[in-house]
Amino acid sequence: TVFWCFKASSLQDVVLVERTRLSEQYFPAVQKFVVLDLGLALVPVSGQTEASQLIIQMVHGQTRENPFRPRSSCRLFDPLVLALVQQVPGVGRVKAVTLLQNFSSIKQLCSAAPAELERIVGRASALKIHSFF
Looking at 1.10.287.130, 3.40.50.10130, 3.40.50.300, 3.40.1190.20, the CATH number of the domain 3-63 comes to: 3.40.50.10130
Cα distance between residue 49 and residue 130, in whole Å: 57
Instruction: Give the pLDDT score at 1.
Output: 47
Residue-wise pLDDT for 32-68, tens only, equals 998 898 888 889 999 889 988 988 888 777 667 767 7
Instruction: Give the pLDDT score at 79.
Output: 78
pTM of the model: 0.42
The segment(s) of the chain belonging to CATH 1.10.150.20 are 73-132
Look at residue 18 and tell me whether its pLDDT is greater than 50. Answer: yes
Query: Among candidates 93, 98, 100, 86, which has minimal Cα distance to 128?
Result: 86
Mean pLDDT rounded to a whole number for the chain: 81
The segment(s) of the chain belonging to CATH 3.40.50.10130 are 3-63
pLDDT band for position 28 (50/70/90)? Answer: very high
Instruction: Give the pLDDT score at 70.
Output: 64
How do 41-45 and 13-18 pair as beta strands?
A: parallel
Residue-wise pLDDT for 112-121, tens only, equals 899 999 998 9
- Beta-bridge mates of residue 15: 5, 42
Helix (H) / strand (E) element for 98: namely: helix 93-102
Number of residues that this document lists for the chain: 133
- Contact indicator for 1, 23 with CB cutoff of 8 Å: yes
Look at residue 29 and tell me whether its pLDDT is greater than 90. Answer: yes
**Domain 73-132 fold:** DNA polymerase; domain 1 (1.10.150)
Helix (H) / strand (E) element for 42: namely: strand 41-45
